[in-house]
Each structure stands twice: as structure tokens, then as C-alpha cells.
Amino acid sequence: MQVHAAVEEYLAHLSSVRRVADATLRAYRSDLVDLERWLPEVPLAHVTRDHLRDWLWAATQRGASRATLARRIASVRGFFTWAVETGRVGADASLRLTAPRRGRTLPRVAAADTLGRVLGELARRAEGGDPIALRDHALVELVYASALRVAEACGLDLDAVDAGRQTVRVSGKGGKDRVVPYGDAAAEALAAYLVRGRPALAERGAGVAGSALFLGARGARLNTRSAYDVVSRLLGHEIGRTAGPHALRHSAATHLLDGGADLRAVQEMLGHASLGTTQIYTHVSTERLHASYRRAHPRA
């Protein structure tokens, strides 16, 4: 079997059986297609660790970052683990590949008063009744209130929202569902959008809206690129040009911990499989505490 055929079967397995997120599938495809191009004539069973090391070295020479190299190793390890388990190869060529140590970078977080100003401005714009302004206000309030990923927010259907309990049912990574709360501010913004904003947007699409909660300017389901642009325009000048919806998620998690929320409760709300992933936000809170101390304490 050639590498190309095996890669296509593996990607189909990830999509239909493991149900990985679209972004994860794209990353695996990018990495493994590049491996195919590196080994166009080598049968899968003849791929060795040296082949893989040469492939990684070539990426390094092209300027690949440590994070990219680590992701490529994760991709190829998953691929060869599957190939061994399914009997396509007898030995795992990816064993003992060494991933470079990744430097820890803390996520960008907006201050609570900064988000208060941004959300206040969105509320003022929404008062005029413009459907897009109403949608943007509801989207940002909900993403921040419930610490959602942008893909999760864009994937929400109308029946995912329980207005009575002020909760939303979210389909997260790997198809795992969770129910998360939202507060009064998000509830008000959602109610206004559902009454005055969404119907107007749905009319523009002539029936293409379906059950989607958040709609784009043409009446179809809002896509992640558009949602990213909405948040980037709002927060880019506050916390950096690349700030997108994930900055709201980071901010929500950090503000919850700042306010005394239990770490495991935050883990459940974020949908993290590992508590270690959530713990990055404790480092953010500690960094913020140290910065405040240095600014405020006379003996700092």
C-alpha cells in the first residue's frame, strides 16, 4: 500500500469514526499530505524512522516553528498507530521520534473593564434595531458568558438554547456534548436578537437559515471566519491585532478563576478533557496578581 492511499483511509477514519473537529482534521490532512509528497514512491510498509526524521528536518530548514514540528509528530504518530492497529504495517516507524519542547505562552486576556466597555458599545448599537448589530451583541455576550469556542457558537441550533434555565447545549470537540450556563446580560441580548434580529436575517436567505441560531448577512448559518472577524474588530485594538473569539474564551476562563470559581467547574464548562489544559488559566491569574502587586504595593 502506498502512503497516499493509507492517508486517505486514515483521514476518513478520523472523520467518520473518531469524529474529530474540522480544524483538527484539516491540520492532520495538511501534515500527512506533506508527508505523501516527501515519500511519493515509498510503500507504507517501507517507511522508516529515518524517512520521518528527514521529513521533519526539511520542515525545520523551511523555518517551521517548534509548535508546527510538535503537531507534525503528533499527526504522524496517530497515523502510524492506526496503521499498526489495522494491520497495514507491522512496525511503527514513528516510535522514538522526539518532539521539541514547546515554550509556554500564556493566552491573551482582556481585562473585565475592557470587555465591559466593548459589550456596552455593542448594546448601544443594538438598540437601533439593526439585525447585524443585534446578532453581534448576542454572539459576543454568549461566547464570553459561556466560554465557547467559535466553532461551537457557530454550530448552535435554536433548540440548543434553554431560555428558562439560561443554559446552552454545546457540541464540543469529538462530538462531546456539554450544557453550560449564561447570565442575564447574554439572556437579554439573545432575546432581543431572536425577536428582532434573526427573523430579519432569515428573510434575506429565503429559507436557507434552517435551525441555525446565529445567521450571517445573507441569512445562512454564520461561519467561523465571519465570527472571528466580528470579534477581531472589537478587541483587536484592545489586546492585539490577532484577537479573535478565543480571546473571549480565554478571558471568560480567567475571570471565572479570578472570581473564585472552582478549577474543575471551569474545566467542565470549557469542555477540556484534561485538567492540565485548564490549569494554564491559573498561571494567567497568578501573572495578573503579580503585575497588580508590583504596581500597587509600596515595597514591591
Tell the residue number behind the cell numbers 470559581, with chain if given. 261
Q: Which residue in the list 10, 144, 193, 281 is annotated as catalytic?
A: 281
Count the Cβ atoms, other than its own, within 10 Å of residue 62.
Answer: 8
DSSP H or E segment with residue 296? helix 280-296
Burial of 208 from C-beta contacts in 10 A (0-12 / 13-18 / 19+):
middle
- 108, 173, 196, 288: the active-site residue: 173
Q: CB within 8 A of 29, min separation 6: which ones?
A: 11
Name the amino acid, one letter, at 248. Answer: L
246 included as an active-site residue? yes
Residue from 196, 204, 272, 288 carrying the catalytic annotation: 272
Please choose, from the candidates 146, 96, 137, the residue with its C-alpha nearest in 3D space to the C-alpha of residue 118.
Answer: 137
- State yes or no: is 281 an active-site residue: yes
Give the whole-angstrom CA distance, residue 237 versus residue 224. Answer: 20
Q: Which one of the listed residues 71, 198, 221, 249 is annotated catalytic?
A: 249
Cβ contact 252:259 at 8 Å:
no
Cα–Cα distance, 249 to 185 (Å, whole number)? 16
293 a catalytic residue: no
Q: How far apart are CA 135 and CA 227, in angstroms?
A: 10
Count the residues in the chain.
300
Query: Is 173 a known active-site residue?
Result: yes
The one catalytic residue among 77, 178, 246, 288? 246
154 CA to centre of own chain = 11
Concatenated DSSP letters of 14-55: HHHTS---HHHHHHHHHHHHHHHHHSTT-BGGG--HHHHHHH
CA dihedral 135, 141, 145, 146 (to 10 degrees): 20
**In this structure, which amino acid lies at residue 155?**
G
Find the catalytic residue in 149, 198, 250, 255. 149
Catalytic site positions: 149, 173, 246, 249, 272, 281
